[in-house]
Amino acid sequence: MREIEYREAIKEAIIEEMDSDRRVFLIGEEIGVYGGSFKVYRGLLDRYGPERVINTPIAENTIAGAAIGAALTGYRPVAEIMAIDFTTLAMDQIVNHAAKIHFLSGGNVNVPLVIRTQGGVGKGVAAQHSQSLEAWFYHVPGLKVVMPSTPYDAKGLLKTAIRDDGPVIFIEHKKLYSVKGGVPEEEYTIPFGKAEVKREGNDITIFAYSNMIIKSLEAAEELSRHGISCEIVDPRTLVPLDINLLVDSVKKTGRLIVVSEACSRGSVASDISARVTERAFEYLKAPVKIVAGLNTPIPYNSTLERASIPQVNDIIEAAKKIL
């Protein structure tokens, strides 16, 4: 299979969906000549013109609102919020409107909308550009939350997101854009709510998503050299969540480590831990271990930055502790 970058995979999904459905359009900051701040949209302005690649002023709440308005009136917008840190400025439209309209209409009205954004640590961009805020969206009923870890998943899930009746929050990781992976030439989609086992194992289940999949795979490789076999479960979509696959894996291994870059307090990780404990308590041979970001804003200094989120070694240490 050919290998392409995560950013390319996302762009291919956009192109295929825009080519097949004229209702799909793009809206956001710096998505025109600049091609998006991570160059995902390079060339799309030339290909589709300014009517379908709408470059906006810096106004996140109105970008989200405009996308909702268009979604209500027959279009299928893909809005980009340049960084998840800036979705905080769009929270009213996302939380009070996008997430509620379907419900409030008695299920009669859909909001077929995708909001693409990126988060995460790793480039020294400090406290206002490094956050992992997926728990905010995970918390709000009415939103779907997608966090792909590979180019393959990114493409297949984004195509599904665009065809979905929404609203979908599609969260990328800034460290993943240049990561390459196999993506077939033929068309495919990946359904929401279907986790994938990224590595099979018997001793410990590791639940991770987004960039933490890469670190978990490294940790599992290292642990296998010490005779410890890890099974890595990537949910791919946090909402809807494939809890059954995870619970089945935990029933098999009897141990669970939940890895998340986001800080631990009020996190997806702590919720997963609670949900698995509820469903598989009698199978657990050790308490669930959470390996998460520290409860701190992300520092600029590279040593402190590294220390504030899980590293491969933290996962290895956690595994040794619960065995």
Partner 1 sequence: MVVLSDKEAALSDRKKIWMLEKLIEIRKFEEKAILLYRAGKIWGYLHPCIGQEAIPVGACCAIKKGDYIISNHRGHGHCIAAGADIRKMMAELFGKSTGYCGGRGGSMHIIDMEHGILGQNGIVGGGIPLSVGAGLSCKMDKKGSVTLCFFGDGASNNGVFHEALNMSALFKLPVIYICENNMYAISMSSKDSVACVDIGKRSCAYGIPGHIIDGSNPIEVYGAVSEAMELARGGGGPSLIEAKTYRFYGHHTNDPAEYRSSKEVEYYKSTKDPVVNFKRKLLEEKIITAGGIQEIENKLDRKIEEAVTFAMDSPEPELDEFLKEIKE
Ligand X SMILES: Cc1ncc(C[n+]2csc(CCOP(=O)(O)OP(=O)(O)O)c2C)c(N)n1
Active-site annotation, residues: 60, 129
* Phi/psi at 94 (5° precision): -75, -50
Nearest to partner 1 of 136, 192 (CB atom): 136
Structure tokens belonging to residue 260: 């998340």
Q: Which amino acid is at 80?
A: E
- When CB distances are held under 5 to 8 angstroms depending on the partner's kind, the choice from partner 1, ligand X, none that residue 103 binds is none
What is the rounded distance in angstroms from the CA atom of residue 134 to the CA atom of residue 146?
9
Q: Return d(Cα 127, Cα 119) in angstroms, integer.
A: 11
Structure-token pair, residue 268: 């997806």
Q: Is 91 in the site for ligand X (CB under 6 A)?
A: no
Residue placing its CB nearer to partner 1 in the complex, 54 or 258? 54
Cα 100 to Cα 183: distance, rounded to the nearest angstrom = 35
- Say which entry of ligand X, partner 1, none residue 188 contacts (CB below 5 to 8 A, set by partner kind): none
Minimum distance of partner 1 from residue 271's CB (angstroms): 17
Residue among 79 and 228 whose Cβ is closer to partner 1? 79
82 binds ligand X (CB under 6 A): yes
**Alpha-carbon gap, residue 304 to 179, rounded angstroms:** 24
Beta strands in 69-132, from DSSP E residues, in sequence order: 76-81, 114-119
Residue 110's binding partner out of partner 1, ligand X, none, with CB under 5 to 8 Å set by partner kind: none
Stretch that binds ligand X, among 81-89, 93-101, 109-117, 292-300 (CB under 6 A): 81-89
What are the two backbone dihedrals, phi and then psi, of residue 167, each rounded to the nearest 5 degrees? -75, 145
Q: What is the 3-state secondary structure (H, E, C) of 59-106?
A: CHHHHHHHHHHHHHCCCEEEEEECCHHHHHHHHHHHHHHHHHHHHHCC
Q: How many residues does the chain have?
A: 323
> What is the DSSP secondary-structure string of 3-21?
EEEHHHHHHHHHHHHHHH-
* Closest CB to partner 1 among residues 166, 293: 293
Question: What tokens appear for 156 in the block?
Answer: 């297949």
Residues 177-216 binding ligand X (CB under 6 A) are none
Q: Show the site string, 21-60: x = touches ligand X by CB under 6 A, - = not.
A: --------x----------------------------x-x
Q: Is 86 in the site for ligand X (CB under 6 A)?
A: yes
> Residue 7 CB, nearest distance to partner 1 (Å)?
16
Interface ranges with partner 1 (CB under 8 A): 29-30, 32-34, 37, 55-59, 61-62, 85-86, 89, 123-129, 265, 294-297, 299-304, 307
Residue with tokens 């520290």: 294
Decide whether 117 or 210 has the Cβ nearer to ligand X. Answer: 117
172 near ligand X, rule: CB under 6 A: no
- Binding stretches for ligand X (CB under 6 A): 29, 58, 60, 82, 86, 89
